[in-house]
């Protein structure tokens, strides 16, 4: 075993310097880094019976499980490391998928049995390791000394729980004459099966091959048998699909001694790059025939026979690119390619890991923290946090303005709807709108349409009729007070509806934001979130009903038989201004030749109209402010004041809950806890990978 490999590979200064790169790659693979990032990988693939197993044996110096049928039923990873110590091999199992074929966040690699000290023992241990993976419900140690009782691979396969697995058998081989190389061996691609029930494995293996060779950092070693036409071999199609430009595919022609007489030129064109061109080119190897293997040919003899074949057989004897012939040259080429790929891609691998870590940390910030050990304390902490978040919304703390932007919009609509009930006084052809300035929107970009058909027009003649009907036993010059009150009350009755509509809309806004706040804190607790939201809505309804009583009280005050204001100065000033404007309108109307009629109105009528306009100007603004302040104080602020206490009430036993346990309330939703655990595990995995690269010096 120890003398079959060329010393030039193991002893060169390049190889000695390259050991550290192979070691960091193997270290990343052991920890399952390939599940998170794309690693440089030499992937051996080919059709079944293309000579792939013989090729791998020649490169690794060990015998691998082989048979006439399908013997490789899992992925095999072979790590070859030059070492000054004696030859050894440690077989391990790397679980990348669980029993439900779901990909694990963090693959687990465990040693399978003792360290092997003789190459002849590798085949049986690798076969046992594969059997352990194919029976995942059993313990791996059950197969450490498994006796196959002379069963063939096919006979034994029928006894396994699985026919194939995506999990990996790892062989880590160290020794003084071992090359620095790490490679993946995939099951051979099959096109036909004997049993109908096994047809699904044709596609399963093909998908497995596609998955490995589609990765951008994979070096595809396409094993091509010279026994069959190249275009008939599935690996060619798959490799071209995965590597469209042929930049990372290396072709290896096997069984050159089976080429039919007169057809060598086809294969020589491929070797020269005149057909099926690949950037990495082609190599050709000659490995032992089945008869030679049965006779126990050694690795050293196999390489000697290979050299004699290429030195003496045409057209190979005349082929001018000598470093493309034989396993030894292929071995060195693959080692060089892998080392160069590791050197070139380590910085980008580190950057990819750092980017993934940053993304994971951002996702973790969106996931609630794990609870502590004291459930009652944790519950109180969350209740306080939720109550504070609601208070922050209501007080606009920490730039929380979303709630108030919506509330202010509704208050603006309320003002508009309230003013839509105002009377428009008409004298002649002129209309007096006392609240025109009050209706201007705060935000000039907001345009609120007004339907003129809904406005109530109060004409001078209507007021005159009202005055005449109200006049009783009054001395001349006195204005009947009842006509003023009647005019005011008639329009104040319409104020109540906009007020209650505003409260209803703001209640809807509060409901939405309170539920959102509760969901942010409690949604991960299915048994708790419903109680919290139910109690919050109950209390919100209580506050709404209390506010409705306040609004009714305000309406009673405004709508009584005695309109009132202490703002005598504003009232008199506005009245005088309106009387002046009325007089100007009358004079203008009566002078106009186009006027439809002459205004001979009673002065009492104009006095009443001016008084009503002056009062409405004060009362409308007063009512709009009072209703808005009442909704803010009695409804919004009072809710925020006591919501924490109501949340605590929700955590007390309800009627019929004799076996109430507070711990039941804070049982977390399994999906959330699973997501957090997965993110934390992924973060831990990525961090360990990053630390390994940093310690390496990357």
Q: For 230-279, how does the pLDDT look when each residue is reduced to its tens digit (9 = 90+)?
A: 988 999 999 999 999 999 999 999 999 999 888 999 999 999 999 999 99
**What rounded mean pLDDT belongs to the chain?**
88
User: In this predicted structure, what is the pLDDT of residue 242?
Assistant: 95
Residue 577 has pLDDT above 60, yes or no: yes
Give the global pTM: 0.69
pLDDT at 9: 40
- Residues 6 or more apart in contact with residue 611 via CB below 8 angstroms: 484, 575
pLDDT given for residue 447 in this prediction: 44
Instruction: With CA atoms as reference, report the closest residue to 327 among 161, 179, 109.
Output: 179
Sheet strand arrangement including 282-284: 103-111, 88-97, 168-175, 75-82, 181-185, 41-46, 218-225, 249-254, 282-284
Residue 179 phi, psi dihedral angles, 5° rounding: -75, 160
The pLDDT, as a whole number, for residue 15 is 54
What was the pLDDT predicted at 64?
Answer: 85
CB 204 within 8 A of CB 166: no
**CA angle (136, 140, 146) in 5-degree steps:** 110
For 92, phi and psi rounded to 5 degrees?
-135, 160
DSSP 513-567: HHHHHHHHHHTT-HHHHHHHHHHHHHHHHHHHHHHHHHHHHHHHHHTSSS---S-
Residue 10: the pLDDT is 43
Query: Cα separations (Å) of 89 from 4, 185, 641, 693?
Result: 17, 17, 71, 25
What pLDDT is attached to residue 476?
A: 61
- Provide Rg for the chain, Cα atoms: 45
Q: What average pLDDT does the segment 629-634 reach?
A: 97
Residue 593, pLDDT score: 60
3-state secondary structure (DSSP) of residue 482:
helix
Q: What percent of the chain stands above pLDDT 90?
A: 59
Structure tokens at 685: 């995995």
Least confident residue range of 48-62, 369-383, 556-570, 587-601: 587-601
pLDDT exceeds cutoff 50 at 597: yes
Residue 602, pLDDT above cutoff 90: no
Of 91-105, 312-326, 361-375, 509-523, least confident by mean pLDDT is 361-375
Tokens representing 454 are: 């809904």
User: What pLDDT does residue 448 have?
Assistant: 46
Q: What is the largest CA-CA distance in the chain?
A: 145
Instruction: Output 514 or 70, whichever has higher pLDDT.
Output: 514
pLDDT score of 7:
38
CA atoms 180, 224, 209, 146: torsion sign = negative
Q: What is the DSSP string of 333-358?
A: HHHHHHHHHHHHHHHHHHHHHHHHHH
Does an H or E element contain 578, and which? Answer: helix 568-591
Rounded Cα–Cα distance for residues 229 and 329 (Å): 24
pLDDT (mean) for 423-428: 89
Q: Tell me the HSE value of 18 on the side-chain side, using a 13 A CA sphere.
A: 26
The two three-digit tokens of residue 408, written as one number: 């202010």
Distance CA 153, CA 66 (A): 8
The pLDDT score that the predictor gives to residue 5 is 39
Q: What is the mean pLDDT of residues 7-35?
A: 75
pLDDT at 70: 55
Q: Give the three-state DSSP class for 77.
A: strand
Domains of the chain: residue spans and CATH: 9-38+348-367+669-697 (no CATH), 39-65+188-324 (3.40.50.300), 83-184 (no CATH), 404-656 (1.20.120.1240)
Report residue 118: phi and psi, to 5°. -135, 130
Q: What pLDDT is attached to residue 481?
A: 78
* Token duo for residue 21: 């790169």
19, 10 Cβ separation under 8 angstroms:
no
CA neighbours closer than 13 Å in the CB half-sphere of residue 207: 8
Q: Could you tell me which residues come within 8 angstroms of residue 475 by beta carbon, excluding any fewer than 6 positions away?
A: none
If you average pLDDT over residues 321-344, what whole number do you get? 94
pLDDT at 598: 58
Query: Are residues 358 and 686 in contact, defined by beta-carbon separation less than 8 angstroms?
Result: no
Average pLDDT of the segment spanning 85-105: 92
pLDDT tens for 130-145 read 999 999 999 999 999 9
Structure tokens at 387: 């109550």
Task: Specify the pLDDT at position 177.
Answer: 86
Q: What is the mean pLDDT of residues 533-548?
A: 97
């Amino acid at each position: 075993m120890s003398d079959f490999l060329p010393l030039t590979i193991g002893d060169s200064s390049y190889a000695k310097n390259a050991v550290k790169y192979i070691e960091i790659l193997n270290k990343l693979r052991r920890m399952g880094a390939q599940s998170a990032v794309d690693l440089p990988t030499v992937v051996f693939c080919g059709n079944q019976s293309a000579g792939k197993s013989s090729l791998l044996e020649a490169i690794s110096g060990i015998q691998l499980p082989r048979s006439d049928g399908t013997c490789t039923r899992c992925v095999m990873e072979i790590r070859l490391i030059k070492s000054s110590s004696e030859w050894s091999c440690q077989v391990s199992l790397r679980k990348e998928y669980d029993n439900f074929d779901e990909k694990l966040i963090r693959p687990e690699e465990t040693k399978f049995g003792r360290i092997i000290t003789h190459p002849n023992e590798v085949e049986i241990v690798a076969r046992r390791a594969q059997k352990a993976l194919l029976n995942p419900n059993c313990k791996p140690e059950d197969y450490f000394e498994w006796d196959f009782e002379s069963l063939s691979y096919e006979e034994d396969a029928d006894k396994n729980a699985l026919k194939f697995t995506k999990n990996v058998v790892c062989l880590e081989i160290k020794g003084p004459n071992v090359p620095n190389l790490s490679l993946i061996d995939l099951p051979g691609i099959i096109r036909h099966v004997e049993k109908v029930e096994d047809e699904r494995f044709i596609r399963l293996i093909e998908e497995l091959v596609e998955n490995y060779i589609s990765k951008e950092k994979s070096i595809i070693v396409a094993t091509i048998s010279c026994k069959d036409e190249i275009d008939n071999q599935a690996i060619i199609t798959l490799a071209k699909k995965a590597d469209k430009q042929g930049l990372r595919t290396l072709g290896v022609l096997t069984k050159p001694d089976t080429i039919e007489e007169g057809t060598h030129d086809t294969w020589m064109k491929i070797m020269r790059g005149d057909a099926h061109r690949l950037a990495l080119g082609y190599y050709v190897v000659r490995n032992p025939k089945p008869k030679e293997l049965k006779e126990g040919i050694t690795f050293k003899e196999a390489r000697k026979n290979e050299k004699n074949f290429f030195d003496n057989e045409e057209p190979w004897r005349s082929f001018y690119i000598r470093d493309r012939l034989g396993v030894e040259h292929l071995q060195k080429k693959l080692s060089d390619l892998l080392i160069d790929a590791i050197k070139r891609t380590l910085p980008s691998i580190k950057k990819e890991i750092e980017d993934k870590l940053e993304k994971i940390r951002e996702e973790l910030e969106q996931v609630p923290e794990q609870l502590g050990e004291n459930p009652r304390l944790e519950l109180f902490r969350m209740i306080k946090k939720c109550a504070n978040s609601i208070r922050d919304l209501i007080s606009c703390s920490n730039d929380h303005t979303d709630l108030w932007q919506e509330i202010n919009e509704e208050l603006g609509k309320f003002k508009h709807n309230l003013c839509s009930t105002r009377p428009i006084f008409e004298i002649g052809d002129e209309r007096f709108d006392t609240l025109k300035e009050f209706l201007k929107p705060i935000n000039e970009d907001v345009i609120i349409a007004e339907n003129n058909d809904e406005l109530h027009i109060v004409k001078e003649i209507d007021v005159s009729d009202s005055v005449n009907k109200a006049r009783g036993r009054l001395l001349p010059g006195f204005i009947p007070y009842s006509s003023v009150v009647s005019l005011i009350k008639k329009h104040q009755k319409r104020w109540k509806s906009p007020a209650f509509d505003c409260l209803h809309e703001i209640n809807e806004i509060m409901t939405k934001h309170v539920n959102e706040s509760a969901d942010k804190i409690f949604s991960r607790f299915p048994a708790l979130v419903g109680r919290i939201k139910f109690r919050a809505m109950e209390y919100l309804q209580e506050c709404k009903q209390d506010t409705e009583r306040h609004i009714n009280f305000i309406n009673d005050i405004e709508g009584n038989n005695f309109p009132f204001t202490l703002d005598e100065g504003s009232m008199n000033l506005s009245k005088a201004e309106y009387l002046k404007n009325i007089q100007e309108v009358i004079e203008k109307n009566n002078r106009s030749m186009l006027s439809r009629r002459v205004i001979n109105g009673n002065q009492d009528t104009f006095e009443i109209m001016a008084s009503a306009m002056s009062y409405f100007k004060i009362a409308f603004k007063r009512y709009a402010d009072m209703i808005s302040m009442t909704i803010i104080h009695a409804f919004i602020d009072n809710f925020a004041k006591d919501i924490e206490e109501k949340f605590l009430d929700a955590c007390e036993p309800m009627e019929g809950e004799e076996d109430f346990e507070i711990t039941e309330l804070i049982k977390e939703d399994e999906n959330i806890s699973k997501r957090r655990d997965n993110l934390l595990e992924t973060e831990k995995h990525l961090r360990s990978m990053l630390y390994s690269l940093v310690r390496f010096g990357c």
